Chain A
Amino acid sequence: MALDKYTIGQRYGTALFDLATEQETVDNVYVDVMALQQVFADAPTLASVLTNATLTLDQKQPILASLQQGASASVKNLIQMVFDYGRMNEMPFILAAFVQRYDQVNGIIHAKVTSAVTLSDTQQTALATQLATRFGAKKVTIDNAVDATVIGGVIVEANNMVIDGSIRSKLAQVRQLLLG
């Protein structure tokens, strides 16, 4: 049976992280990986184009070259290797596994915060500090999503936890209590 993409992501991602740690280039690689993640997010078809069997190597090579442009040596090698092994479809998971590993080592937590209106910078910083003490993390990055149906308060999703302090869920609770 084929390995699932999470397992594949873990294997390549961990290998890249260990290599980068050995060469003490983790921070540079991290920047590259973040950029690469952005590219894959912007162009959702990119991975499938690179694994498409109907396209010839000559057609894929320029795309690959542009991906490798300006990347550090280990990231360049990773791209080449993943391409050669036909694992480009799993590339986003490889990158995610690397980022996850990097965050774990450096105590970084990404929080998705849903609120009714955009949070101000001061609010975001205050929230980040609070979350950092709660999760025992060194740094918390906040990704603010706006959803008007939340009405008030925030919903924080981070570290496999959902902290729900929204008016929407309070109202749902009241409704549950009154209507059973």
Chain B
Amino acid sequence: MSIKAEEISSLIKQQLANYSADLAVEEVGTVTYVGDGIARAHGLDNAMANELLEFQNGSYGMAQNLETNDVGIIIMGSYDDIREGDTVKRTGRIMEVPVGDNMIGRVINSLGQPIDGQGEIATEHTRPIEFKAPGVMDRQSVYEPLQTGLKAIDSLVPIGRGQRELIIGDRKTGKTSIAIDTIINQKNQNMICIYVAIGQKESTVRAQVEALRRYGAMDYTIVVTAGPSEPAPMLYLAPYAGAAIGEYFMYNGQHVLIIYDDLSKQAAAYREISLLLRRPPGREAYPGDIFYTHSRLLERAAKLSEKLGGGSMTALPVIETQAGDVSAYIPTNVISITDGQIFLDSDLFYSGTRPAIDAGTSVSRVGGDAQIKAMKKVAGTLRVDLASYRELESFAQFGSDLDAATQSKLNRGRRTVEVLKQPVHKPLPVEKQVLILYALRQGFLDSVPVDDLGRYEADLFNFFDGSHADVLAAIAKTGKLPEDDSLDAGIKAFAATFKASATATAAN
């Protein structure tokens, strides 16, 4: 590239033309305390809440506590060379992140900077990380389904676009797997996914990104990550940054799925910041506004009215419990904010029921309206069936002689549990879920040995894909069960060809 002398001189001319016009007026303060990732500064009388402030060494901070004498600042980035007596400058900008279509497929940090080594992200817009959630008139009720591809969720705790559904459970119960599977299932669903990893091990995040890439899910996914080695402010900001990026798409009329994995760690990061800023501690040493921290974040998930483009943002926050204690402070808070919860049970997980969804305590308060008709029909009695099975199961352990009705209930229950099992990263399209649940409800599975059910299911899908693809397509298209008996006939035709394996027959 050659230097164009005319261009440069015209630029300089421009500068010189309004030379005397612009006086740089800056408001500054003096650092009086620095340490543990926070600073206090004297002066800065007109600083705004959440304003971006620039330190002498070039690193940025965010104004948090505005007091009579000083301002409490959380430092983002390195605070090694900030000293007492340094100056802090106001920037006049509220904390914001870059947003735009070019972010899709990238891995970024809480400030929107790329960390996947694929170069700069060219974005034109920015959004403030704190943004008021849509009001009453800006919303409409949730009516479109968000298919997670997991039989147990789509049938028992259906999720609608714009809903907030909590995923809660102990460590190692498959919370993240549910989230990742849901993202994988959004392929070709006109959905943009944002996975916010808060305090997740860098190695885990790397593995998740690789899994998403392997299933082609990175084409519509943005990963925001704040690892455990980053200072607490970055962990605290990550979900807000993710929400801001999601809002850009939502207000453009698109559908967004955002996963906050997990909010317990964000709460811990915010507790750390608050204690350092000397805000009074409350229950479990969390600050007084910890509820607001989560409620204002989750309230930004919405189904917008048609006037605003009809976009939606579905939030799946994740909370980790300690030893199944859902009555701790943060779990109860987030349970009360969200529109339902998927409760994962470690006993179920270790007994082989995966996903380990506890059907009794898991609920979805708004998703039912979003379920397709066919699914509603086949899943209608599922919850009751499971509940009565659990009840009978414990009862049946005492006696051996049971009447035929009880026997058949136990039989059905065992098969229901088996059908709801699903391997990881194998989401199913909704029509296939309807198919297997229909077969279960109509009693076609009652004669199939429990151990054979997995094979039965796979073969059934293959059979339908081969010779009854039109039936599946019709369910997917209309959302209804076929009027005629084509479904029954298909399953019967398949059952005739299905042979139970020898070991399974002997066992049953």
Could you list which residues of chain A lie within 8 angstroms of chain B, going by C-beta atoms?
4, 6-7, 10, 157, 160-165, 169-170, 173-174, 177-178
Kindly state the separation between the CA atoms of A173 and B23 in the bound complex, as whole angstroms: 12
- A173-B15, A174-B15 are known contacts. Are A6 and B69 too (CB-CB below 8 A)? yes
| A–B Cβ pairs within 8 angstroms, 8 of them | A7-B69, A160-B27, A160-B29, A160-B44, A161-B25, A162-B89, A174-B15, A177-B11
For the complex of A and B, 8 pairs with smallest distance between CB atoms:
A160-B43, A164-B24, A162-B26, A165-B23, A163-B25, A174-B15, A162-B28, A161-B27
Q: Which residue of B lies closest to A161 (CB)?
A: B27
- B34 CB to nearest A CB, Å: 12
Q: Which residue of B lies closest to A157 (CB)?
A: B28
A7, A161, A169, A178 — which one has the most chain B CB atoms within 10 A of its CB? A161
Q: Is B161 an interface residue (CB 8 A)?
A: no
- Interface size on B, as a range, is 20 to 34
Is A164 a contact partner of B28 (Cβ separation < 8 A)?
no
Contact for A161 among B8, B28, B42, CB less than 8 A? B28
Q: Which residues from chain B contact A161 at a C-beta distance below 8 Å? A: 25-28
Q: Which residue of A lies closest to B44 (CB)?
A: A160
Is A178 a contact partner of B43 (Cβ separation < 8 A)?
no
Q: Which residue of A lies closest to B89 (CB)?
A: A162
- A160-B44, A165-B23 are known contacts. Are A177 and B29 too (CB-CB below 8 A)? no
Contact flags (1/0) for B22-45 with A, using CB distance below 8 Å?
011111110011000000001111
Q: Which residues from chain A contact B70 at a C-beta distance below 8 Å? A: 6
Q: Is B323 an interface residue (CB 8 A)?
A: no
Kindly state the separation between the CA atoms of A157 and B26 in the bound complex, as whole angstroms: 9
Q: Which residues from chain A contact B28 at a C-beta distance below 8 Å? A: 157, 160-162
Kindly state the separation between the CA atoms of A173 and B45 in the bound complex, as whole angstroms: 27
Is A10 a contact partner of B26 (Cβ separation < 8 A)?
no
Q: Is B398 an interface residue (CB 8 A)?
A: no
Is A163 a contact partner of B69 (Cβ separation < 8 A)?
no
Is B32 a contact partner of A169 (Cβ separation < 8 A)?
no
Q: A170-B15, A174-B12 are known; give 15 further A-B pairs, CB within 8 A.
A: A6-B70, A157-B28, A160-B43, A161-B27, A161-B28, A162-B26, A162-B27, A162-B28, A162-B89, A163-B24, A164-B23, A164-B26, A165-B23, A177-B15, A178-B11
- A158 CB to nearest B CB, Å: 10
Could you list which residues of chain B lie within 8 angstroms of chain A, going by C-beta atoms?
8, 11-12, 15, 19, 23-29, 32-33, 42-45, 69-70, 89
- B27 CB to nearest A CB, Å: 6
- A36 CB to nearest B CB, Å: 22
Is B69 a contact partner of A4 (Cβ separation < 8 A)?
no
- B45 CB to nearest A CB, Å: 6
- A160 CB to nearest B CB, Å: 4
Q: Which residues from chain B contact A6 at a C-beta distance below 8 Å? A: 32, 42, 69-70
Kindly state the separation between the CA atoms of A163 and B43 in the bound complex, as whole angstroms: 15
Kindly state the separation between the CA atoms of A7 and B70 in the bound complex, as whole angstroms: 11
- B316 CB to nearest A CB, Å: 40
Is A169 a contact partner of B26 (Cβ separation < 8 A)?
no
- B323 CB to nearest A CB, Å: 35
Q: Which residues from chain A contact B69 at a C-beta distance below 8 Å? A: 6-7, 10
Q: Which residue of B lies closest to A162 (CB)?
A: B26
Is A162 a contact partner of B11 (Cβ separation < 8 A)?
no
Is B25 a contact partner of A170 (Cβ separation < 8 A)?
no
Kindly state the separation between the CA atoms of A81 and B446 in the bound complex, as whole angstroms: 93
Is A178 a contact partner of B8 (Cβ separation < 8 A)?
yes
Q: Which residues from chain A contact B27 at a C-beta distance below 8 Å? A: 160-162
Q: Which residues from chain B contact A160 at a C-beta distance below 8 Å? A: 27-29, 43-45
- A126 CB to nearest B CB, Å: 16
Q: Which residues from chain B contact A173 at a C-beta distance below 8 Å? A: 15
Kindly state the separation between the CA atoms of A138 and B101 in the bound complex, as whole angstroms: 55
Kindly state the separation between the CA atoms of A169 and B24 in the bound complex, as whole angstroms: 9
- A34 CB to nearest B CB, Å: 21
Kindly state the separation between the CA atoms of A123 and B170 in the bound complex, as whole angstroms: 72
B8, B25, B27 — which one has the most chain A CB atoms within 10 A of its CB? B25
Contact for B23 among A10, A163, A177, A178, CB less than 8 A? A163
Is A4 a contact partner of B33 (Cβ separation < 8 A)?
yes
Kindly state the separation between the CA atoms of A68 and B12 in the bound complex, as whole angstroms: 60
Kindly state the separation between the CA atoms of A7 and B40 in the bound complex, as whole angstroms: 13
Kindly state the separation between the CA atoms of A160 and B69 in the bound complex, as whole angstroms: 13
- A20 CB to nearest B CB, Å: 22
Kindly state the separation between the CA atoms of A161 and B47 in the bound complex, as whole angstroms: 12
Q: Which residues from chain B contact A164 at a C-beta distance below 8 Å? A: 23-26
Q: Which residue of A lies closest to B33 (CB)?
A: A4
Kindly state the separation between the CA atoms of A178 and B12 in the bound complex, as whole angstroms: 9
Contact for A4 among B32, B43, B44, CB less than 8 A? B32
Q: Which residues from chain B contact A10 at a C-beta distance below 8 Å? A: 69
Q: Which residue of A lies closest to B28 (CB)?
A: A162
Q: Which residue of B lies closest to A171 (CB)?
A: B15
- A172 CB to nearest B CB, Å: 10
Kindly state the separation between the CA atoms of A10 and B27 in the bound complex, as whole angstroms: 22
Q: Which residue of A lies closest to B32 (CB)?
A: A6
- B203 CB to nearest A CB, Å: 36
Kindly state the separation between the CA atoms of A174 and B24 in the bound complex, as whole angstroms: 14
Q: Which residue of A lies closest to B29 (CB)?
A: A160
